[in-house]
Amino acid sequence: MADRIPAQRGGPGPGGLVVVLGGGIAGLAAADRLSQAGWRVRIVEKDRRCGGVHRARQIGPYTFGVGSIFYEENARLFDLAPGLRNLCPTVMRVQRRIAPDGAILHYPLEPREFLRQSPLRLARSVVDLAWSRLWVRRDGTLDAIARQRLGGSFFESTGLASYISRFHHVSPREIDEVFFFRRMAYVERFTRIGALARSAARSLLSRAPVNQRTRRPLRVRPREGFEPIFERIERRLAASGVEFSLGDALLSLRREGGLFHLRTASGSCFAEAVVSTIPLDSLHQAMFGVGSGLVSLDMTTLFVSAAHLDRRLGNVLFNFHPRGQWKRATIYSRIYPDAAGRDGGFDREFLAVETTIPPGGSHDPQRIFEDFRKHMTVLGLARDLTLEGHERVENCYPLYTPGSGAILEQALHRISRSGIILAGRQGRFEYLPTSSGVILRVMQELDAAGLFAAAPEMAA
């Protein structure tokens, strides 16, 4: 990055250089939109490939992966390059969870489960819910709002309390209630009084099991991994003039007059605007020399094969059982059926198993695998499990502890007042569960920054 914009250049405007920090979905979407608006764009990414946390691993006959693999039919990601949708086959996502008693139930939780308990348990739950709505007061913690909205008995009996503790490695009493609204939006919606009333009416009219509800198929990343998607996006952006500086870590960033001075592992440059989609704490460190005080959870992903998995497990399985450190398993052999069985030339199932790492914790795949193997074997859900590989994934989830909201606002304000545009789940320390949600949020931030003015030649 030896390129420099002359310091005497006029005020920011299309035609100047915008540096986009991060080459994940958020950064690629920002680069695409800025390039269309007439800016010269350079993506700076510390890894040697684009895609962010989305990456695949080929181990023997198996293709494993890290990152979400599902996309809705009209996903905004497909707009970033021609033909992306056709690269992604359709599949029915079948989500299940292991309940506290070991039963295999539908995921996510649905109001009908509350309503279809035995008469005695339902009566107790209704009384508990009514009492909780009247007397449980929100105190800013996830525990209080979950008990107020669900009732203590339902919160505990469904395994939701166990899942939350497993996810964060601390009690729900040590998590800010913002997690309920950002990470548990579905639960927040269905526990509204009106939603519960409508669900009760539907339940009385239909006795069909929850897992027989009609669902739309989704698109899924190509069988061979994420590379076909991100390579095609990168080629299209490069053809439109976007520059890529891959394997190039940001070292420092500061404002100098009307320009931004960036120093990276490969050199330095001046830019008229900077859009950051990298972890907020990393940017704070580069700008001010200290961390922001925000904490993110890393994740250990295990790549596992199995001689047998219970057919009831679906193709995405969540752990709501009181035992086991793992939180979610994605069973690729059921998502890509031609990749397993006799047609694929081998008979084992293969899956990725995710476990969050506590702050300051270590990546210990063998220990986590032994815990997973024992848990699934004791429950009679799996046989002959083998650890094929593993990966540590950094900055997967924001940790919303009480008081982190104030720290976040302070960090956002301190960075934003310099003129840097923060976007994406990493850039703004937000939980955004879908690629479409990430891209939409990026567009909103770019719109608010006013970077989409037409270039002079485009306005003629």
CATH number at residue 442: 3.50.50.60
Q: Are residues 418 and 372 in the same domain?
A: no
Q: Is residue 149 part of a domain?
A: yes
User: Is the predicted pLDDT of residue 213 greater than 90, yes or no?
Assistant: no
pLDDT in tens, 86-134: 999 999 999 999 999 999 999 988 767 766 777 787 778 778 888 998 9
Q: Are residues 142 and 162 in the same domain?
A: yes
Q: Are residues 414 and 356 in the same domain?
A: no
Q: Are residues 49 and 35 in the same domain?
A: yes
Q: Is residue 129 part of a domain?
A: yes
Residues 324-336: what's their mean pLDDT?
A: 97
Q: Is residue 42 part of a domain?
A: yes
Question: Which one of 398, 413, 448 terminates a domain?
Answer: 398
Strands 421-422 and 316-319 turn out to be unpaired
Share of the chain above pLDDT 90, in %: 76
Question: Which one of 351, 374, 398 terminates a domain?
Answer: 398
pLDDT at 455: 44
Q: Are residues 306 and 392 in the same domain?
A: yes
Q: Are residues 272 and 412 in the same domain?
A: yes
pTM: 0.90
Domain count, the chain: 3
Q: Is residue 331 part of a domain?
A: yes
Q: Are residues 419 and 361 in the same domain?
A: no
Higher pLDDT pick, 9 / 438: 438
Q: Are residues 423 and 276 in the same domain?
A: yes
Confidence bin at 186 (pLDDT 50/70/90): confident
Q: Is residue 338 part of a domain?
A: yes
Question: Which one of 209, 232, 252 terminates a domain?
Answer: 209
Q: Are residues 304 and 348 in the same domain?
A: yes
Q: Are residues 329 and 180 in the same domain?
A: no
Q: Are residues 255 and 385 in the same domain?
A: no
User: Is the predicted pLDDT of residue 185 greater than 80, yes or no?
Assistant: no
Residues 434-442: what's their mean pLDDT?
A: 95
Q: Are residues 288 and 305 in the same domain?
A: no
Give the domain extent around 160.
110-209
Q: Is residue 430 part of a domain?
A: yes
pLDDT at 187: 77
Q: Is residue 82 part of a domain?
A: no
Length of the chain (residues): 460
Q: Is residue 71 part of a domain?
A: no
Give me the CATH number covering residue 393. 3.90.660.50
Q: Find tokens 């592992």 and name the residue.
A: 265
